[in-house]
Amino acid sequence: MPSTRFLGSLSTPRVDITIDTGNLFFNQALEGFLKIGSVAATRSIAEDSFKAINGGKLSKHCLERSLKKMCKEGAYWAGVYVGMEYGVGRIRGTWDWKNAMIGGALTGALVSAATNNNKDQIVSDALTGGAVATASVLLNYLT
């Protein structure tokens, strides 16, 4: 009796962009803006979509406001994160995933404290920032 086999592999898609400016800080700044900026922009889109669905209205003004918020938050989070991660790396004297974790947590806490007065939300944003930043670095190690 003939038998059949199926052989294959499954891999995650990977997009590597390497931009070498000749300066470690500028390289990390570009990488941070691409990674964390896109995460912050996605977060903003998710929040505004949720509000629009629950509010039951979607207008041109709502979309324009959402786009402006997405760009502003993406740049804001990315800029703070890059500075924090670079500073932590300089203080620790090493470049590893722990810098991303500490930098992400500090960024989440700082951005949340600047925009919210709720202490529970600050802790939650610090944990989220640290987790997302760490996951983005660790995912690069897996592939």
Least confident of 54-63, 76-85, 105-114, 120-129: 54-63
* Average pLDDT over every residue of 14-32: 73
| pLDDT at residue 21 is higher than 70 | yes
What does the pLDDT look like over 32-86, one tens digit per residue?
A: 777 777 777 787 788 888 888 887 777 788 788 888 888 887 888 888 888 898 8
Q: Which amino acid appears at position 5 of this protein?
A: R
What is d(CA 105, CA 128) in angstroms, rounded to the nearest whole number? 7
What is d(CA 38, CA 123) in angstroms, rounded to the nearest whole number? 22
What does the pLDDT look like over 6-18, one tens digit per residue?
A: 555 555 555 566 6
What is d(CA 10, CA 96) in angstroms, rounded to the nearest whole number? 28
What is d(CA 67, CA 74) in angstroms, rounded to the nearest whole number? 11
Q: pTM of the predicted model, to two decimals? A: 0.68
User: How do the domains of the chain map onto residue ranges?
Assistant: 25-58, 59-90
Q: Which helix (H) or strand (E) element contains residue 9?
A: none
Residue keyed to tokens 């086999």: 5
